[in-house]
Structure 1
Amino acid sequence: MPAAKNTGRPQLLFVDGSFEELAGEMAEYLKAEEAKQLLSAGSEQKPVSKDEVLAKLVASSQALTAVPEKEFTAASNLMIHLVLQSSDPRKHLPALCAIFSKPLTSSPVHGVALSLNALTTVFNLLEPTDPIRARVFMEILKFLKNHGMFDGMRQYLEKLPEWMESWGTDEEFQRKLYEEVAEVALEAGEDEQSYEFILKALRTFDADDKEEVTSDDAQRLSLRAVRMALLSNTHFLFQDLRAIPSVQALSDSHPVYSQLLDIFAEQDLEDYNDFNEEHEGWVDQQKLDHDKLHRKMRLLTFASLAAATPSREIEYAKIIKALQIPEEDVEMWAIDVIRAGLVEGKLSQQRSVFLVHKVTYRVFGQRQYRELATRVDHWRVTLQNVLGVLRQEQVNAKAQKEREQQELERKLNSASLGGGERGGGERGGDRRRQNQGQQQRERTDNDD
């Protein structure tokens, strides 16, 4: 049989034959009578219309969900190959992908994996820059979401920006795709990953278009992002969220949410308590979980207290007052704030202080610059004192060395002088003995 014509797209290596031959086999397999009639009516004078045949085959492809498990991959690959022979595959691929997205009834165990394989085959056989790839990828995302298969998506996430640029997708499609990724991540319990993709979706709104950032869609996503950030067990910094124009627009459309976000971004537990008094019952009405928010606010207050303490030593009494807790709970909250990654330090039970080693700033504005300047001044004074001590020690060490050198020289000189006197005495003794000998000889001579 002649090989299929090269259309410039990647081909399935095992597919061989003309379109008419392969379409006839597919029509027979699917029992697509209308497709068989169209194929049989074709002639050299009047060639068969590929798109008409494909429309009939795709309409009958629902039968693929009931074929034996061992036949599904080969049949689906052949169907994909045929659709890609169309002059405009986008006419048929969405419907075909919708069929592949349905459960394979003949394979309750492996059906999901087989269906996903068919969808990814469509995606991989399209040219990298083909815009229809974006729609296929959206179908893959929906499939992964329906089956809780976030792990199957991880390999694609880093490539998404590059792909969307090559597909030339508009902001609206990008927003929908990012939101779909966020949904899949949320279903899998990946809350932080889901939050990050909601932020990506929010950034697709034109910051310079006030109408766009205040649109219903923008405000809906902004509220969702705020709620996710507030209720997250791992998210404690809110500056990235507050910098997004559509979130800033909440101050007009949802001022209470905006006020609450400001409190969590840079204020303390006392401010949160005042908020609850001012808007009594609002947190419960919005299903925001007061206990979770209250605990989070205490941790953030601890971080602010640590950041605002130049000496890096926080007395227990200050912690007790700021967090509104009994003294016996100080250690527990110190451990919790360290686990949250907001502060690094340790407790000194003897001195009843918390020693701050490192702290995460919740915001960095004029107030924080002043606090940093105070801390830098404190460090400078401390370093100057240390430098003064070191220099004094250097002077003392040098003086001590000089004294030791002088003492050594004195001892050497004393030893040298003492040796000279002993030598002179010995020589004087020798001379006396010589004189005595001479006198003895003179007396002997006289006697003779």
Structure 2
Amino acid sequence: MPRARNYLAPQDPILFKLTCVSVQLHAMARTTQHVFIDGTFADLSQELADYLNIGSEVTPLLEQNKKDDVLKKLVTASIALNATPEKEFTAAYNLLVYLVIQSPSVNIFLPKICDNLSRPITSSPQNGPGLALNVLTTVFNLLAPDNEVRFNVFQAVLRLIKANGLYETLRSQLKNLDAWVQEWELDEEDQRKLFGMVADVADDAGEEEEAYEFILKALRTFDPKDKEISSEEAQTLSLRALKAALLSPTHYDFHDLTSLPAIQALSDSHPTHSELLDIFSEKDLEDYTDFRDENENFLEEQDLDNSKLHRKMRLLTMASLCASTNSKEIPYKLIAKALQIPSEDVEMWVIDVIRAGLVEGKLSQQKQMFLVHRTTYRVFGEKQWREIATRLDQWKESLKVVKEVISRERQQAEAQKEREMHEADRKLAGASGMGAGRRTGGNRDNMVEMGTD
């Protein structure tokens, strides 16, 4: 196929180079891609058919101008392109894509092409995933932004990335996902399917935090007024999100879970899971220890690592202790008791809590105290509002006392200043009187002397 290698050429430099062998997913265009082509539909179809060894089947259809029948033959036989030499793979698939894009029935043919590209490229085991990815993203770019088939193409991209561990090629595209969902006008079920696929890809790549965020996105698609929040699918996703949050070494705020109706529905379907979530949301290490004792085999059966949960619960307990202490000075002994640790381990655990970002403060070895500067509230409800109200009242009283002290000091200062001014005036007046007396006596002496003469 000497001509097929350059059939498609993008005008816009930011779009894909269709003949490029790469394992990187370039930015998917949000506008229609323009291409140049050399040859009529009949000529190009016949050439591709000959390449696929079905030329004799296609020729009579071309003579009858049955274009969709021709494309059906080409697409059906296109799985053979997965075995074409690497240097011809991109050009051959690009030609097929170009022919299909021209058809009014494009949405019928493209899913089959996407399915083929999701399968192994036997002619190039090493570069095959990159070759297939380039073609899929070309298909994506050639479709109008609001074409619902883009959704199917993107799913094929996700399957390919997941199967070949190419998550990094997807990461930069995730910021566009919400906009694409709106353009494709996906219903809740398709949105849930899409977010679940992205979560699976991220999970396989070890990107636990991103996987968790997309599971939450999927859970938010359930209508809280519908019974589907208690469906098997909702429960499966809810349990998956709960497990991810519990075992995550960086996730300490469980409000994002407890606020979801699908998670709240676990209290009926999975009460033990719901109880465990409540403990991590607002209770302490002692509650977790009691739970573990009462549900001896539960953690093991649910593949929940007790050592990880126990450590996280200690950190959360320390955060709660700091938040509930009005004096902001916590003795080491109190910390050791709350965390169920030896006194000599207190500083190590406090440092871990600070590193986790749950509290800020300063250790005093001399006083055997931890001075709290800032803390994170695990839950913020009526109890916390009451604590804030109490502290505000305390601050109000303290400010009132300070204000009274300042007022007294100011009054005393003003009174002292006034006394000093009076004293200064008195002294000045006394000095002026003495001076006047001396001047008068001098004059009399002069007069006597003048009279004597």
**TMscore range, shorter length:** 0.7 to 0.9
Contact 1:226 1:261 (C-alpha < 8 Å) held by counterparts: yes
* Secondary structure of residue in 2 paired with 1:14: coil
Q: Which residue of 2 aligns with 1:62?
A: 79
Deviations 1:112-131 (A, max 9, x none): 33322211111111111111
Task: For structure 1, list consecutive stretches of 5 or more residues without a partner in the other structure.
Answer: 439-448
1:19 partnered with 2:41: yes
2:273 to 245, 254, 257: 257
Shift of 1:252: 2.5
**Per-residue CA distance 1:74-103 (angstroms, 9 max, x = gap):** 333222111111211122211212222345
Is it true that 1:74 corresponds to 2:96 in the alignment?
Answer: no
**2:33, 2:141 within 8 Å by CA — same for their partners in 1?**
no
Q: Determine whether 1:209 maps to 2:231.
A: no
Trace 1:26-425 onto structure 2 (pairs within 5 A). 26-28=48-50, 31-35=51-55, 37-39=57-59, 42-43=62-63, 46-47=64-65, 49-105=66-122, 110-210=127-227, 212-420=228-436, 423=439
Q: Which residue identity lines up with residue 344 of structure 1 in the other structure?
A: E
Q: May I ask how many residue pairs the two structures share in their alignment?
A: 425
Evaluate the alpha carbon distance shift between residue 184 and residue 406 of structure 1 in structure 2; reply closer, same or farther with a 3 A threshold: farther
Instruction: Tell me the amino acid that sits aligned with residue 104 of structure 2.
Output: S
Contact 2:280 2:313 in 1 (8 A): yes
* Structure 1 residue 432: Cα displacement: 7.4
SS in 2 for 1:358: strand
User: Retained in 2: the 8 A contact 1:11–1:81?
Assistant: no
Q: Which moved more, 1:379-388 or 1:222-231?
A: 379-388
Residue identity matched to 2:35: L
Cα displacement string for residues 277-304 of structure 1 (whole angstroms, at most 9, x for unaligned residues)? 1111321232211111001111111111
Q: Deviations over 1:403-444 (max 9, x none)?
A: 4433443454455445445655665676677778x5xxxxxx
The 10-residue stretch of structure 1 (138-147 or 407-416) with the greater mean CA deviation from structure 2: 407-416
Q: Closer, same or farther in 2 for the Cα pair 1:426/1:349, shift >3 Å?
A: farther
Q: Which amino acid aligns with 1:362?
A: R
Letter in 2 for 1:195: Y
Distance 2:216 2:349 in 1: 30
Letter in 1 for 2:170: M
Which structure has the greater CA radius of gyration?
1
**How many Å separate the matches in 2 of 1:112 and 1:433?**
132
Per-residue Cα deviation, 1:162-196 (whole angstroms, up to 9, x for no partner): 32232122222111110111112222322121111
Percent of matched pairs sharing the same residue: 53
Are 1:35 and 1:57, in contact at CA under 8 Å, matched by a contact in 2?
Answer: no
Kindly indicate whether the alpha-carbon contact (under 8 Å) linking 2:85 and 2:123 is maintained by their aligned counterparts in 1. yes
Looking at structure 2, the residues matched to 114 and 315 of structure 1 have their Cα atoms a distance apart, in angstroms, of 63
Q: Does the C-alpha gap of structure 1 residues 23 and 432 become closer, same or farther in structure 2, counting only changes over 3 Å? A: farther
Question: In the alignment, residue 313 of structure 2 is paired with which amino acid?
Answer: M
Change over 3 Å in CA distance of 1:405–1:252 after alignment to 2: same
Distance 1:430 1:120, change over 3 A: farther
Closer/same/farther in 2, CA of residues 403 and 194 from structure 1, 3 Å limit: farther
Query: Compared with structure 1, are the counterparts of its residues 35 and 373 closer, same or farther at alpha carbon in structure 2 (3 Å cutoff)?
Result: farther
Cα distance between partner residues in 2 of 1:11 and 1:348: 66
Cα distance in 1 for partners of 2:32, 2:226 equals 42
Greater RCO, CA 8 A, separation 6+? 2
Please report the RMSD computed on the Cα atoms of aligned residues, expressed in angstroms: 2.7
- TM-score (normalised: structure 2): 0.85
